[in-house]
Amino acid sequence: MNQKILLYGPAGSNCNYIILTLANKNTNNIIKKQFSSYHYLGTHAGKISVIQPYHTFKELSIYFEKNYTGYIFHHWKNEYNFLLNKDDLFPLQCVIDGLNYVVIINWIEKFLFHPDFKQDSTAAQEWIKNQEESWAPYTVFPLERAIVRWMYTIYKDKNRDNGYSDEPMFMNKFNFSTFYKSYNDTKLEFQKMNYNYTEDEYVKWRDSQKIIFESIEKIDKNRNNLKNLDKFYQRGIAIALNGLEHNLSETECWDQLNIKLK
């Protein structure tokens, strides 16, 4: 792809990997460890820029003059719409069309438990601190409670920053859940962008995400056995999935199901 890639999607939706792959820069043979967030090949390698909502138009113009492979927007403002018609940009939205909770697993594992860089770790520790301060007055399980809030937000608040796709301006859309279904499903998503995604690429990506797939499986098998879940986010996700399945409100979900943590 000759154009720079403008990718709009939530944090945790494989943004770096998608951009690097479409730009033919995802050289899997240089991955030196079993688990990778791909930040060190993209955003932390100076190849991909994350555009923040506080960036001014002057700052935006400077970023777009630099030799980046792509740009990630986790938040979109209507003022950015002019970028969608630039000839040198390929706009793409990562749609969270299912398995919403995997974005939480990705973020927590890659920033908190397996950070590539200090700034990732710092962001995660700041999140932990803020959540504990917010929820500790109400529960002895503040982090699990924080995850329940996060879960209900991404499942119930159907806004575009959470990966919902009712915005017509992004003509090109990548369905996030296909990564976790099969190679063939994922291949079709890349095919929509005229990229021939090989099975070898998928196998190498899946191997690099071993911890993520293991966590998905563990949550799935222990939805009602929270004591078998080692990590706070797994327990929070399991609680929220049960609450959502039974149409409980966020408060009802926590009040009725947090007892399983005791």
Residue 37: phi and psi, rounded to 5, are -95, -10
- CA-to-CA distance for 181 and 183, rounded, in angstroms? 7
According to the model, what pLDDT value does residue 138 have?
A: 96
Q: What is the pLDDT of residue 158?
A: 85
Give the three-class secondary structure for 31.
Answer: coil
Domain segments of the chain as ranges? 4-261
Q: How far is 135 from 113, CA to CA, in rounded Å?
A: 21
CA distances from 46 to 39, 53, 63, 83 (A): 10, 19, 11, 21
The residue written with tokens 């601190």 in the block is 129
pLDDT in tens for each of the 262 residues of the chain? 789 999 999 999 999 999 999 988 755 555 555 567 787 778 878 888 899 888 888 888 888 888 889 999 999 988 889 899 889 999 999 999 889 999 999 999 999 999 888 888 999 999 999 999 999 999 999 999 999 999 999 999 888 889 887 667 888 999 999 999 999 999 999 999 999 999 999 999 999 999 999 999 999 999 999 999 999 999 999 999 999 999 999 999 999 999 999 8
At residue 114, what are phi and psi to the nearest 5 degrees? Answer: -140, 55
pTM above threshold 0.85? yes
Comparing C-alpha atoms, which of 6, 12, 1 is closest to residue 209?
12
